[in-house]
Amino acid sequence: DAMVIQNPRYQVTQFGKPVTLSCSQTLNHNVMYWYQQKSSQAPKLLFHYYDKDFNNEADTPDNFQSRRPNTSFCFLDIRSPGLGDAAMYLCATSTVFRSGANVLTFGAGSRLTVL
């Protein structure tokens, strides 16, 4: 089945130790997103790629970086994780709905714990 796959599902890192989360999709969607979701909060958009064009949200810390080497893969790099970066990280892709609007297809998420 076509889908969005995130790895790893659970990641434990130490304070300040870089971590990379990956997302792959078989949907051939041209837009890919990274969201951060802390416990009992709304998903917060960090950035998105429209094809190779990177779009950063104004309030996304510099500590968060992203790479999209090809259509299928997108990575989230956290250069120096702090305790406040512990969260679920959600990857999503978008396509044009039959009525012409985009909808999001999400992966299952990667839960990051920072010790």
Partner 1 sequence: SQQGEEDPQALSIQEGENATMNCSYKTSINNLQWYRQNSGRGLVHLILIRSNEREKHSGRLRVTLDTSKKSSSLLITASRAADTASYFCATDLNTGNQFYFGTGTSLTVIP
41 touches partner 1 (CB under 8 A): yes
Element (H, E) at 92: strand 87-96
Nearest 5 degrees, angle CA 111-CA 42-CA 109? 25
* The only residue of 4, 21, 78, 112 in contact with partner 1, by rule CB under 8 A: 4
48 touches partner 1 (CB under 8 A): yes
CB-nearer residue toward partner 1: 17 or 87: 87
112, with CB counted inside 10 A (0-12, 13-18, 19+), is buried
Q: What b/e readout covers 27-48, taking b as 16+ CB neighbours within 10 angstroms? A: eebebbbbbbeeeeeebebbbb
95, amino acid identity: T
* The only residue of 24, 27, 63, 111 in contact with partner 1, by rule CB under 8 A: 111
* The only residue of 1, 69, 70, 101 in contact with partner 1, by rule CB under 8 A: 101
* The only residue of 66, 94, 112, 114 in contact with partner 1, by rule CB under 8 A: 94
Residue with tokens 């870089």: 18
Stretch of 12-20, 47-55, 66-74, 79-87 contacting partner 1, by CB under 8 A: 47-55
Binding positions for partner 1, rule: CB under 8 A: 4, 31, 33, 35, 40-45, 48, 50, 55, 57, 88, 90, 92, 94, 97, 99, 101-109, 111
